[in-house]
Structure 1
Amino acid sequence: MTAATAAPAPMSHREVLRALSGLLMVLFAAMVSSTVVSVALPQIVGDLEGTQSQYTWVVTATLLASTASTPVWGKLADLFDKKRLLQIAIVIFATASLLCGLVENTGQLIALRAVQGLGMGALQVLVQVIIGAMVSPKERGRYNGYLGGVMAVSTVGGPLLGGAITDTDWLGWQWCFFLAVPICIAAFAMLSRTLHLAETKRTDVKVDYLGATLIAAGVSLLLLWVTFVGNDFDWISWQTAVMVAGSVTLLGSAVLVETKVREPVVPVHVLKRRDPALATVASLAVGMAMFGGAVFLGQYFQISRGFSPTEAGLLTIPMMFGVMIASAIAGRLVSRSGKVKPYIVAGTLVLTGGFSMLATIDHETNLVFMGAGMFLVGTGVGMSMQNLVLVVQNSVPLRELGAASGAITFFRSLGGTIGVSVLGAVLADQVADKIADGLAALGIDASASSGSSSLNLDAMPAPIAEIVRAAYGDATGHLFLISACIAAAGFVAALFLSPVRLRETVDLAETPAGEEPALANG
């Protein structure tokens, strides 16, 4: 049975900010660890004499471990001491980051990146769970601006930082990994002094190992398919049939297990309710649109427009500002009113509008117009992404906060992964067709010109390089059109959310078994 404890006293604003400083530091370290490496990865794999297949696995290993472990870490936060779990996650992540910078071959790097992914997934969900345990959903909105700012800075600033580190002779690519270590050490020390959560001691803890294993295996197989389909094998192939069927079987078995165990890793009974289900669908759509679309902006600026990696990062600053400003303003307005639906609806609408603007771009589009479109995309994300987490957290009691937060974070990450893969496949097909048409216009047989598939434009004859630049620029607009459609699906889901008012208490009042929590209408 769960030991009876008094309701935890709410932390003051000053106490929350002190603890939040350490939480934001580890969140930044976790999120920037992916973006800072992305620019340096070609040089890293080259120095380690790795292959193209190993290049892919350096990315995939982190992605698999992070996404598949997110719901598990979320559930562990419901069962065990949240602060202790966070400290363990910091140690795992920092140690793996340090060792990644000391590797001697790509095999070691792949293995350690998987361990780093475990810590990364833990930090991303535990930060949200702990914030949820410190303050009520209504007050939580005012802190979402800080989270949005960290996400924006790490997403846009990471490639800039990675390029600077890689181009600096006295640092080298190893510091792309070492960078996270001092941040984690400082955050660990700060959180040891400032983070004080009132934990409920439980004597009936029972970890759902079977459910966790089935979820991790099913998600891993699905992500492997998403990663390699369209490149290593066709969308319609025996490999696709085997991997999709295996993933569906594993995840279907996981759902059956989760509906029967007492402490499910993913709270199916919560996700079956209207608002959490709609918020999850909207979050999946926002993740697919945001990560799937924005990840190709850097490639567009570098390949199609000829900018350097550093310049490409600077050109995406409007999107970062949009996220920071919108998340800060929307968060404070949510805390004042307690109403969250209007901002989610407006955010997904603005996100759709921003991607609709970017859907019209080609290789000669005015950069001011692009900046306006990126600002709208960032604004839409800032208004909706964290507020969708609030909807789910507001609907569950404190004892289920970790599992619910882990579930929606997992679906958002899964949506981003699927979006990147699908849009990447579309981009490859579009580029191949446009290059073939351009070469045909010059009287060149595309099948005989293998050099046109390279991204080293400096090594190409000027006419062919121009065809490749135009192909990437014109094809990128199609990606944003798909992203706009996906964002529109999130807007439709947001429209059907209940106009609830966020509660002002950290925990949710107990309700009789089988009934949904009673939430105040807005």
Structure 2
Amino acid sequence: MSAPVLDRADDSPMTHRQIMEALSGLLLVLFVAMASSTIVSTALPKIIGDLDGTQTQYTWVVTATLLTATASTPIWGKLADLYSKKILVQASIIIFILGSLIAGFTQNTEQLIAARAFQGLGMGGVQALVQVAIAAMIPPRERGRYNGYLGGVMALATVGGPLLGGLIVDTDALGWRWCFFIGAPFAVIALFVLQKTLHLPVLRRDNVKIDYLGASLIAAGVSVILIWVSFVDDAFTWLSWQTFAMVGSGLVLLALAVWVESRVAEPVVPLPIVRQRTTALAILGSLAVGMAMFGGSVFLGQYFQIGRGYSPTQAGLLMIPMMGGVLVSSTLAGRAITKSGKIKPYVVAGTILLVAGFAGLSFLDHDTSLWYIGVSMAVVGVGVGMSMQNLVLAVQNTVSLRDIGAASATIAFFRSLGGTIGVSVLGAVLARRVATSMTEQLTAMGVPASAASSSGSLNLSALPEAIQHVVRIAYGDATGHIFLISAGVAVIGVIAAVAMKPTQLRSTVDLTPPASDPSVAKVAVD
């Protein structure tokens, strides 16, 4: 490779001021992506109600975004190891903006699901690339305290998003479509901020190719299994030819993906990295944490609005304890990790708290005390703040800078995969239990059981008052069951965290100087 070897200030570490300037754009990007999602989460019951959608469609509006974000994350990560991280971040933002605008103009749930799937392509890029860019700037030992800023942005976006979404939905002059439109101007600002502040070297290697076949096989395999989860025990039984066909084909596609990944020169999910003990356990922990966190929390807004009858704004306010827990724990744990250089104790404690919080939420019904719910949500938030980002940090500490994109994206991939599976599985469980509960209650009232199916729409205002009461009780009582499942899944995260080998975080950005690798040239193009 004949390109000149140029770098930032003779490869000297970035100053705190330079890091904060670059972080300003990255954190703004992360805030826009997360806030756009959380705004929709609170407004979704209203959106699906207005579009006359069902519980299955409610789940798929969330799942579609997670699915495409999950499938695209490894590709974004691999591209980040080869090309300009800044350009890739900006490209992902543009895709996210377009997806948001398209979603705002949709006229039915099918169009909304498709738009959210497109939006997820950009979200996958933002989620993966922000982590990659930070890893390229800051040594793992110092990254702990900067993770506090990440936690703060996550908390602000997750608290402010539902509140803003509730206000938008409750304001007649705006309407729910502005939940999608409102993020666009902030995303445009983020593009300009990144252009001004983010300057990273690019590691380029000769004769490299992106493994699109492997990525496609992974996406196809996961999609088939998720589609099966959404329809099993409803459109067809567990033991049926449809089950064997869909599960069988999904597993075959995933097996082919592993075979392809083991043979290509540049796999999107590098198996040598995945086989490392720390990475493998962090993947298992991220899968469990993602499944429990995304799968459980996405239904809290629905519980407060449909199960308890609160407005979208009130539902957003009631979510504050969880986000407060994320903010406080991520900040304090990040500073403690930077000071000690040790990460395992905080990950173990975080996963244990996650189990405890979801176990507490498993006792929910339609009239549980709000104080009890708030305390349980706060415990969940503390667990998330101590575990989720630090599982990524544990992996980044074990790989060189040239593989930081693929490694970071691999963890993000499995966390998103866990979230996607969690939302699909728990959404399917919730739908089944709600349908069963409504049938039992309506039958007891002397109403024909067929009325339960006509009550499947989330547009409660179109239902008689007596039926509305039945629906609220059904949703309120069924939600606790899915949190019990979340607690059980989160136990896997505890086991993975305990099994992780204690390590000391390194104080350098890279394991070895890039100059020692003759296949790599560092070109400052950002």
| TM-score w.r.t. length of structure 1 | 0.89
| Residues 318-327 or 188-197, more deviating | 188-197
Question: Shift of the alpha carbon at 1:87?
Answer: 1.9
Does 1:390 find its partner at 2:397?
Answer: no
Does 1:421 find its partner at 2:415?
Answer: no
Q: Which residue of 2 aligns with 1:164?
A: 167
Superposed CA offset, 1:16-40 (max 9, x none): 1111111111112222223323454
Does 1:504 find its partner at 2:500?
Answer: no
Q: Which residue of 1 aligns with 2:283?
A: 280
Q: Which residue of 2 aligns with 1:260?
A: 263
Contact 2:42 2:315 (C-alpha < 8 Å) held by counterparts? no
Alignment of 1:3-402 (within 5 A): 8-40=11-43, 59-102=62-105, 111-402=114-405
Higher relative contact order (CA 8 A, sep 6+): 2
> Aligned letter for 1:416?
G
Question: Shift of the alpha carbon at 1:9?
Answer: 2.3
Superposed CA offset, 1:155-175 (max 9, x none): 343233223223333333332
In 2 relative to 1, CA 2–377 (structure 1 residues): closer, same or farther, beyond 3 Å?
Answer: farther
Question: Shift of the alpha carbon at 1:499?
Answer: 0.7
In 2 relative to 1, CA 102–216 (structure 1 residues): closer, same or farther, beyond 3 Å?
Answer: same
| Residues 217-226 or 173-182, more deviating | 217-226
Q: What is the SS of the residue equivalent to 2:366? A: coil
Question: Shift of the alpha carbon at 1:342?
Answer: 0.1
Question: Shift of the alpha carbon at 1:462?
Answer: 5.7
How many residues are aligned here?
513
Contact 1:2 1:204 (C-alpha < 8 Å) held by counterparts? no
Q: What is the SS of the residue equivalent to 1:201? A: strand
* Alpha-carbon distance in structure 2 between the residues aligned to 1:56 and 1:430: 14
Superposed CA offset, 1:229-282 (max 9, x none): 445444433333222222222221121121122211101111111111111111
Does 1:404 find its partner at 2:407?
Answer: yes
Contact 1:2 1:200 (C-alpha < 8 Å) held by counterparts? no
| Residues 172-181 or 490-499, more deviating | 172-181
Q: What is the SS of the residue equivalent to 1:210? A: helix
In 2 relative to 1, CA 113–487 (structure 1 residues): closer, same or farther, beyond 3 Å?
Answer: closer
Contact 2:53 2:457 (C-alpha < 8 Å) held by counterparts? no
* Alpha-carbon distance in structure 1 between the residues aligned to 2:415 and 2:470: 36
Q: How high is the sequence identity, in percent, across the aligned residues?
A: 62
Question: Shift of the alpha carbon at 1:400?
Answer: 0.8
> Aligned letter for 1:207?
I
> Aligned letter for 2:187?
C
Q: What is the SS of the residue equivalent to 1:307? A: coil
Contact 1:145 1:327 (C-alpha < 8 Å) held by counterparts? yes
* Alpha-carbon distance in structure 2 between the residues aligned to 1:18 and 1:67: 29
In 2 relative to 1, CA 419–102 (structure 1 residues): closer, same or farther, beyond 3 Å?
Answer: closer
Question: Shift of the alpha carbon at 1:448?
Answer: 5.6
| Residues 229-238 or 351-360, more deviating | 229-238
Q: What is the SS of the residue equivalent to 2:176? A: coil
Superposed CA offset, 1:176-230 (max 9, x none): 2222221111111111111111223333332223223322332333333344444
Superposed CA offset, 1:10-64 (max 9, x none): 2111111111111111112222223323454566678789999887765554333
Question: Shift of the alpha carbon at 1:340?
Answer: 0.4
In 2 relative to 1, CA 230–323 (structure 1 residues): closer, same or farther, beyond 3 Å?
Answer: farther
Q: Which residue of 2 aligns with 1:520?
A: none
Q: Which residue of 2 aligns with 1:517?
A: none
> Aligned letter for 2:122?
G
In 2 relative to 1, CA 137–2 (structure 1 residues): closer, same or farther, beyond 3 Å?
Answer: farther
* Alpha-carbon distance in structure 1 between the residues aligned to 2:455 and 2:118: 37
Q: Which residue of 1 aligns with 2:524?
A: none
* Alpha-carbon distance in structure 1 between the residues aligned to 2:57 and 2:353: 39
| TM-score w.r.t. length of structure 2 | 0.89
Contact 2:66 2:419 (C-alpha < 8 Å) held by counterparts? no
| Residues 370-379 or 474-483, more deviating | 474-483
Does 1:435 find its partner at 2:443?
Answer: no
Does 1:492 find its partner at 2:474?
Answer: no
Q: What is the SS of the residue equivalent to 1:217? A: helix
* Alpha-carbon distance in structure 1 between the residues aligned to 2:106 and 2:299: 29
Contact 1:68 1:220 (C-alpha < 8 Å) held by counterparts? no
* Alpha-carbon distance in structure 2 between the residues aligned to 1:49 and 1:284: 33
In 2 relative to 1, CA 363–119 (structure 1 residues): closer, same or farther, beyond 3 Å?
Answer: same
> Aligned letter for 1:167?
D
In 2 relative to 1, CA 177–146 (structure 1 residues): closer, same or farther, beyond 3 Å?
Answer: same
| Residues 418-427 or 447-456, more deviating | 447-456
* Alpha-carbon distance in structure 2 between the residues aligned to 1:360 and 1:367: 12
In 2 relative to 1, CA 290–86 (structure 1 residues): closer, same or farther, beyond 3 Å?
Answer: same
* Alpha-carbon distance in structure 1 between the residues aligned to 2:440 and 2:155: 38
Contact 1:8 1:198 (C-alpha < 8 Å) held by counterparts? no
Contact 2:442 2:449 (C-alpha < 8 Å) held by counterparts? yes
> Aligned letter for 1:214?
L
In 2 relative to 1, CA 296–445 (structure 1 residues): closer, same or farther, beyond 3 Å?
Answer: same
Contact 1:2 1:202 (C-alpha < 8 Å) held by counterparts? no
| Residues 274-283 or 208-217, more deviating | 208-217
* Alpha-carbon distance in structure 2 between the residues aligned to 1:213 and 1:481: 33
* Alpha-carbon distance in structure 2 between the residues aligned to 1:237 and 1:212: 29
Contact 2:73 2:412 (C-alpha < 8 Å) held by counterparts? yes
Question: Shift of the alpha carbon at 1:131?
Answer: 0.4
Q: Which residue of 1 aligns with 2:523?
A: none
Contact 2:54 2:458 (C-alpha < 8 Å) held by counterparts? no
Q: Which residue of 2 aligns with 1:519?
A: none
Contact 2:165 2:313 (C-alpha < 8 Å) held by counterparts? no
> Aligned letter for 1:216?
A
Alignment partner of 1:483 out of 472, 483, 486: 486
* Alpha-carbon distance in structure 1 between the residues aligned to 2:2 and 2:20: 30
In 2 relative to 1, CA 40–304 (structure 1 residues): closer, same or farther, beyond 3 Å?
Answer: closer
> Aligned letter for 2:345?
P
Q: What is the SS of the residue equivalent to 1:395? A: coil
Contact 1:97 1:178 (C-alpha < 8 Å) held by counterparts? yes
Question: Shift of the alpha carbon at 1:439?
Answer: 4.0
* Alpha-carbon distance in structure 1 between the residues aligned to 2:464 and 2:48: 27
| Residues 323-332 or 28-37, more deviating | 28-37
